[in-house]
Structure 1
Amino acid sequence: MKKIKSAPFFIGTEEKVYVAGEGITRQFVGYDDTIMMVKVMFEKGAIGYQHEHFHAQTTYVVSGKFEMTIGTETKVLQAGDGFYTEPDIIHGCVCLEAGILIDVFSPVREDFIATI
């Protein structure tokens, strides 16, 4: 695998915003071959469709309200909450109130890097 890494500093107002889905945008905060942090902005009603991947993921809710499903369990999460999903577990969310999530993946999401 080719060695990759982001710039050492993330200045939100200066970083490119990428479309990640209908009503969903993201910015890449920092990454290397082993880890990636992504800021994901959701409009109310946007859907993070059910999916799975081989990456471990932990997410922190900065703002808004989200109905999050991991496997067969669903909870409503809001600012200050978070979740962890191990690799290969189906998960997704519905944004109930516009907000921001901070996703951390290990290893890096090469599929995301391909969009930069």
Structure 2
Amino acid sequence: MATTPTSGTFFESDRLPWETVGEGVSRQILTYEPGLMLVRVSFEAGAVGALHHHMHTQMTYVESGVFRCTVGEEERTLRAGDAFYAPSYVWHGVVCEEAGKLVDAFSPMREDFV
């Protein structure tokens, strides 16, 4: 698992490591503290963020690309500038239709990521 210092004020993404977490999917932990975590996830076209759920509240911003996103029983296609909210324990996942990046915010932080 990747580690990122929790101390400091500024975190420059070009200095932070990427971790492969699935076929065509890599993750970069930008910063975190116990109550909040910010993570960038890069997807190749066709890559899948499988349906899953967790105790954490998640908000996801589409930085680039096109993603078919499922939250609960609803599915939408989202593009750069769009976002979705996945409440605690609600099933959610994505399919990347055009290569891109998502920025995930979790509350509390995902201890399983560090």
TM range (shorter): over 0.9
Name 1:31's counterpart in structure 2. Answer: 32
Gapped runs of 5+ residues in structure 2? none
Name 1:69's counterpart in structure 2. Answer: 70
Q: In the aligned structure 2, how far is the partner of 1:51 from the partner of 1:76?
A: 18
Name 1:87's counterpart in structure 2. Answer: 88
Tell me the amino acid that sits aligned with residue 48 of structure 2.
I
Q: Give the superposition deviation at 1:13.
A: 1.5
Q: Are residues 102 and 37 of structure 1, via their aligned partners in 2, closer, same or farther at CA, if it must alter by over 3 Å?
A: same
- Identical residues among aligned pairs (%): 47
Q: Deviations over 1:33-56 (max 9, x none)?
A: 110000111000000000000000
Contact 1:7 1:30 in 2 (8 A): no
Tell me the amino acid that sits aligned with residue 66 of structure 1.
F
Equivalent position SS for 2:10:
coil
- State the number of aligned residues: 110
Contact 1:5 1:33 in 2 (8 A): no
Gapped runs of 5+ residues in structure 1? none
Name 1:59's counterpart in structure 2. Answer: 60
Equivalent position SS for 1:13:
helix
Q: Give the superposition deviation at 1:11.
A: 1.4
Q: Give the superposition deviation at 1:12.
A: 1.6
Cα RMSD, aligned residues only: 1.2
